[in-house]
Structure 1
């Protein structure tokens, strides 16, 4: 059951995850991004990797859940000042393990389902800004992005026995994961670590032999959950596939 809680963060992606991008000059051979008048500039980020996966900490259970590498692909609304960002968050489902009531081994499949696009703003800075030095690149952006995601649970087992939660067991409302981070915008770019704290909503639709929604809500839902991920820039502007 609580397995799903551990998934909530993910959404992380927070992603949640959301991110931002800007552009400027770079030395020859550094994949320089030329200033342009475009009002919709594509970008792509990878969330986590095999060595440092995206993780979510479920406060009530005191446990973590790790997710396979995900993506955040979208568009930046220009290269000047503060501009809008929109993007699509994609995080693969994962199997989770936790201990309920401090003694009950529980496993389950956790799925993060985006509720529309992630949205926010980004303020672009050049290498002349001291803040950019922290990203080891000559272009960076302060991002403030919110991704709303439902957390779905399936294939739940308690002490090795299947627990019927039905095909529609998920949070009744989407969890809002807001990510504020300074991210590099020029390639090559080092990973940028982001951390977000969010609240997991109550569950609904967890009906098998009986309605277990209230039970799962009591075990998992509540504030103080965290989402942690390394965001790595994969492409920007013309380097991104249409």
Structure 2
């Protein structure tokens, strides 16, 4: 029984053109031109590309697993997205990419354990954004002339692999991950102009139950009971990398 409990502590885991009518070929007067439909923000603006580094030396991306009291630190990642308009609160879409990490912690205060943790995106990040202007007004907090009040949700599966306890391999199999994706919501005022300071953000999320864990024995229910639940946190710095479709170093174009 002790061996099974030890295994349970292994989980380190945890954004119209309107058509013109043709004139009649007859001698009859040409019909009046119909009014063109109003363009939507997405068509009129064609979207504003932007990109952020996720995590830096001052504040790397760190997730705390509430039930284990364990922190997981990830390498620097990226978020690349598009703002679909500028008038009012408009849609935003993007892709989050954070490299896997190897995590270390001590269970029962004496047993070293390691494992690889991977965040697998469940589709694109989605949400809304309100673009603001004014370095001394709405954007004063980030110190730039243009900024964005964002509300973005990233959905990720949490996958565990390469687990070892006291240096010995524990075979959790190749498909040990959360049965559903965890929804990590980030609300923050972020800069959209250079130079831009990093913005620290904190998000609280729930870890779903696990599935597919264990080859020789079923570990998923045990991991779910001891690890899954609310109150987990993710803290990181967002550092503006590029804005617009221009070329490098500050444009997001190719």
Q: Which residue of structure 2 lines up, in the alignment, with residue 111 of structure 1? A: 118
Q: Secondary structure at the match of 1:217?
A: helix
Unaligned runs of 5+ in 1: 9-17, 19-35
Task: Specify the SS of the correspondent of 1:80.
Answer: coil
Measured in 1, the distance between the counterparts of 2:146 and 2:233 equals: 28
1:241 aligns with 2:248: no
Task: Give the equivalent residue in structure 2 for 1:30.
Answer: none
Give SS of 1:218's match.
helix
Verify the 8 A CA contact 1:5 1:200 in the aligned structure 2. Answer: no
The alpha-carbon distance between structure 1 residues 122 and 45, as it changes in their structure 2 partners (threshold 3 A), is same
Contact map agreement 2:135 2:144 (CA 8 A) in 1: no
Measure, in 1, the Cα distance between the counterparts of 2:118 and 2:81: 21
Q: CA deviation at 1:177?
A: 0.4
Equivalent pairs counted in the alignment come to 215
Cα deviation for residue 192 of structure 1 reads 0.7
Q: Which has the higher contact order (CA 8 A, sep 6+)?
A: 1
User: 1:124 Cα deviation (Å)?
Assistant: 1.0
User: Could you say which residue in structure 1 is the equivalent of 2:207?
Assistant: 200
Q: Following superposition, which runs of at least 4 residues in structure 1 exceed 6 angstroms of deviation?
A: none
> For 1:45-124, what aligned pairs fall within 5 Å after superposition?
45-124=52-131
- Mean Cα displacement is larger for which, 194-203 or 103-112? 103-112
1:28 maps to none
Larger radius of gyration: 2
Q: CA deviation at 1:131?
A: 3.4
Q: How far apart are the structure 2 equivalents of 1:5 and 1:85?
A: 31
Question: Are the aligned partners of 1:4 and 1:152 in contact in 2 as well (CA < 8 Å)?
Answer: no
Q: Of Structure 1 and Structure 2, which has the larger fraction of its residues in strand?
A: 1
Residue 230 (str. 1) matches residue 237 (str. 2): yes
Post-superposition shift, 1:74?
Answer: 1.4
Query: Structure 2: which 5+ runs fail to align?
Result: 1-7, 16-42, 246-250
Contact kept? 2:12, 2:71, Cα under 8 Å: no
Distance 2:70 2:165 in 1: 16
